[in-house]
Structure 1
Amino acid sequence: MTTIIPRRRWVIGGLLGTGVLINYIDRINLSVAAPQLKAEFHLTTADMGLLFSAFFWSYALTQIPVGMILDRFGVTRIGRWGTFLWAIASGAVAFTGGFGGIFVARMLLGIAEAPGFPASAKATGYWFPRQERSVATALFDAAAKFSNVIGVPLVAFVVVGFGWRWGFGLTAALSFLYFIAFYFIYRDPSADPKLSREEHAYILEGGATPEGQADTNAGAMLAYLLRQPKVWGLSLGFAAYGYSFYLFLTWLPGYLVQAMHMSIIKSAGFAAIPWACATAADILFGGLLVDRLVAKGYDETKVRKSVLIIGMLFGLAVFGATQTTNPVWAIVWISIALSGLAASAPIGWSIPSLIAPKGGTGTIGGIMNFLNNMMGVVAPIVTGFIVGASNNFELAFLVAGIVLIVGIFFYVVVLGRIEPIQAPE
């Protein structure tokens, strides 16, 4: 008789996905409000590039410390504080009065949201067996893409109807509601009274990441992991993905308004199309397909790396967007590129928990997300200066494609097999 395993772990997966969804709506609201901000405060294109990057300066620079703190104090405690603080920081933008105030508020938001992705990756390692890890990771990673499908039109409606300040007020309210949900629902498996003994055994027997701190201190673990080629292959490959992802996250609405001469509302509708495609690819290929093949007994490394690299190759469709002035074809090429990148993303985020020694998942996730989000600093600024100098986006998209080629090299050559790194002595 087949034992039916309860599904508490999927409640946790859904909670983490909801958090990332709201987390990313917080990030994209500035992109939607950009035309109004630019007009009200007389900002240049380069100024907007700097504002888009402000969040990522603080977010990226706090990733490694946050990863170490997560490994020391755990997901429950750090997750609660992070969600509470990001709700406050999100609302602060609505009360600013110019470039400087917006820049500072966005930097504070970056600090507050820093635990989001590393905490979700660490929690997924605790809560899911290896054969379900890709789908579980795709739940929260796809939410980052889906935020553009519902978040951009939602924020655009509020911004156009009530003004840009109300757009930031809306995201602050959503963030606070998530803080309440996280506070009452999330626990690590060993501390969750609603997790059955049967499901906990199933999770552990399936190769879940062991709970608890590392046997070495945080500084020594960081130094040890920074010497591992696997960590650098993963982190630099994922950073290349991040360059294109953050270019489109911050500049896609502006590209459609400026280059394709659309209104804010129309650009929001068009911008949702590539992100909807990316959401589907994230779950179907980066999640379900990978877990299905691993469950059938195919080699884990070959499966994960094949989808990882093929997805990055599809990302090179960004080159196609440099060859058209037709908005429909531009959206087609960008949809292909983002779908490929989205298929590779949950695999990248699942790898820290698959290769980390005990107590090191948060640190590896912090290293990876630091380099990834430094691209969130670089891509908006570089794009802003290129577009400001040339008055078009072709060269900016070309640069993104070249960065992807470099990332593919690190995934293929440096990452190696996806297997646990030996624990430090």
Structure 2
Amino acid sequence: MAVQHNPDVTTTGGTRARQHRRAWLVVALLCLFMLINFADKVVVGLAGVDLIRDLGIDAQQFGIVQSSFFWLFACGSIVGGVLMGRVPARWLLAGAAAIWVVSLLPVIWTASFGVLIAARVLLGFAEGPAAAMATSAVHTWFPADKRAIPTSIVTAGAGIGPLIAAPVLTAVIVNYSWHAAFAVLAIAGSTWVAAWLLLGKEGTESTGEPGPRAGDPTDDVPVRTLLRTGTIIGILVLFFVSYCNVALKVSWMPMYLREGLGYDATAVGQLSTLPYLGTAVFLVLAGIASRMMTKRGVSNRVARGVFPIALVFFSGLSTIAFASMDRGPLQMVLIVIGASLASGGWGVAFTAVSDVVPPRRRGTVMGIIVAVYSIGGVIAPLVLGGLVNAASTPGAGYASGFTMLGVLLVVGALIALPLINPDRDRRAIAAHARTTSDPVGIER
């Protein structure tokens, strides 16, 4: 008997295979996007000693430089959130990365405190919505129940970036100058823009359980209502304290290793990579672990709430511990754990946002989340700079600052624990969408 082939099935299978390959190509490009994003952030910390010497500034002024990156970060996050869904991802992400490149150019030729601050402010504005834009874009390629791993891979670019950049940029700084390091980053950013314009775009996957479906009644739930859910409030708290940790890791960790602990420049370039390596590993492992929990029927409250909260909690305990220890291998292990565990659950927690927030509102809500947690990036570098400047020794100032950070992480995790519950809040939002008599509350 002759076997009949259905050309429609073959065509559909081929289309799905191409879509699958394209989806993972986009994941790779967005991972590179986050990689360059964080490499841009860490370059000032790596060049800190030379930069302070050449500009004739003190530790508190260096804290201002690092804090300035976040001055318009929140504004950029909100602007980016508004533009998401209105401007195609191909043009929006390429435009943001192009502004990164423009912000780096003046620092290549100028050694001025004012120019450096202006450049960092512009860079912060353009990088503000980066995480939300990358997350929103990758979510358009995968159904809700399969987003944890690709989201974590994209977010892991934030850890891989400094992991690659720290030794490379340190070598450039040592052998050439800190200006040359900015030139290397400008070239990398320009190359990514070209690649994204050629290969990157949005996907068509905006449906799939357990998240809200595109076009359903929850699409019209006001943003203010979504922001009042326990899950979003808990994520705001969790991300705020975690971002204080990220900001100090990016802005002060190289200086802490060199001034506070006495490592030389070459050792700092190598040791600075370890927290980012830990972050990249924990991000991917957290995504895999969360996905396994979901497949085994574990609730979203545990898989996407309690799990990332626990990572932040233990990050705080590790930070408190290493701040009170002398230099050595054990302290370095705790530094890596403290600096990376808090970031490990970010991809998973961002997935919880998509569980609760309808696709139409997702970009705006993610932009607001980034805007709120970025305030930690403004405050944390300034506080640590002031503590270092006022302390009897730099080491004492760093110890006080990192102890405060550890306590903040522990407290933030405990506050978030009863709040984050995606399943509960999704049901509440659905109930609100069916109710027309209560335009601002979530449920009666």
Query: Shared topology, TM-score over 0.5?
Result: yes
Which of 163, 168, 180 is the matching residue for 1:149? 163
Spell out the pairing of 1:17-28 with structure 2 (5 A cutoff): 17-28=31-42
Q: Distance in 1 between matches of 2:213 and 2:199?
A: 21
Give 1:166 deviation, angstroms.
0.4
Question: Paired residue for 1:193?
Answer: none
Shift in alpha-carbon separation, 1:322–1:141, aligned structure 2, 3 A: same
Inter-partner Cα distance in structure 2 for 1:112 and 1:305? 29
Q: Is the 8 A contact 2:152 2:287 kept in 1?
A: yes
Instruction: Answer yes or no: is 1:417 the counterpart of 2:431.
Output: no
Give the 3 Å change call, closer, same or farther, for CA 127–214 of structure 1 in structure 2: farther
Asked if the contact 2:211/2:358 (under 8 Å) is kept, the reply is no
Stretches of structure 1 lacking an aligned partner (at least 5 in a row): 191-199
Check 1:227–1:204 CA distance in 2 against 1; reply closer, same or farther (3 A cut).
Answer: closer
261-270 vs 173-182, which deviates more? 261-270
Q: Tell me the residue number matched to 1:374.
A: 375
Cα distance in structure 1, aligned partners of 2:129 and 2:217:
19
Contact kept? 1:309, 1:408, Cα under 8 Å: yes
Aligned-residue offset at 1:331: 1.1
State whether structure 2 residue 249 is matched by structure 1 residue 248. yes
Letter aligned with residue 375 of structure 2: M
C-alpha distance after superposition, 1:229-263 (max 9, x if no partner): 43222112211111112111111100011011122
Query: Could you tell me how far apart the structure 2 residues matched to 1:387 and 1:136 are?
Result: 39
Does structure 2 conserve the Cα–Cα contact (< 8 Å) formed by 1:28 and 1:249? yes
For 1:402 and 1:74, locate their aligned partners in 2 and report how far apart those are by CA, in whole Å.
41
What is the CA distance between 1:137 and its match in structure 2? 1.1
**Aligned equivalents of 1:49, 1:412: Cα separation in 2:** 32
> Where do 1:8-407 residues align within 5 Å?
8-190=22-204, 204-205=207-208, 221-284=222-285, 286-316=286-316, 317-390=318-391, 391=394, 392=396, 393-407=398-412
Distance 1:180 1:108, change over 3 A: same
Where does the alignment leave 5 or more consecutive residues of structure 2 unmatched?
1-8, 434-438, 440-444
- For 2:60, the aligned partner's letter is A
The alignment of Structure 1 onto Structure 2 pairs a total of residues equal to: 411
What SS does the corresponding residue of 1:336 show, helix, strand or coil?
helix
CA–CA separation in structure 1 for the residues paired with 2:60 and 2:203? 47
CA RMSD of aligned residues (A): 2.5
8 Å CA contact 1:236–1:371 kept in 2: the answer is no
Distance 2:36 2:212 in 1: 26
Which residue type is aligned with residue 175 of structure 2?
Answer: G
TM-score, length of structure 2 as denominator length? 0.86
Change (3 A) 1:111 1:249: same
**Larger Rg, first or second structure (1 or 2):** 2
Structure 2 distance, partners of 1:315, 1:254, is 20
C-alpha contact (below 8 Å) 1:56/1:373 kept by paired residues: yes
User: Does the Cα contact within 8 Å between 1:237 and 1:408 map onto a contact in 2?
Assistant: yes
Distance 2:371 2:119 in 1: 20
Paired residues of 2:219 and 2:361 also in contact (CA < 8 A):
no
* CA gap 1:53/1:293 in 2 versus in 1, 3 angstroms: same
Deviation for aligned residue 1:15: 1.0
Going from structure 1 to structure 2, the CA distance change for 1:278 and 1:358 (only over 3 Å counts) comes to closer
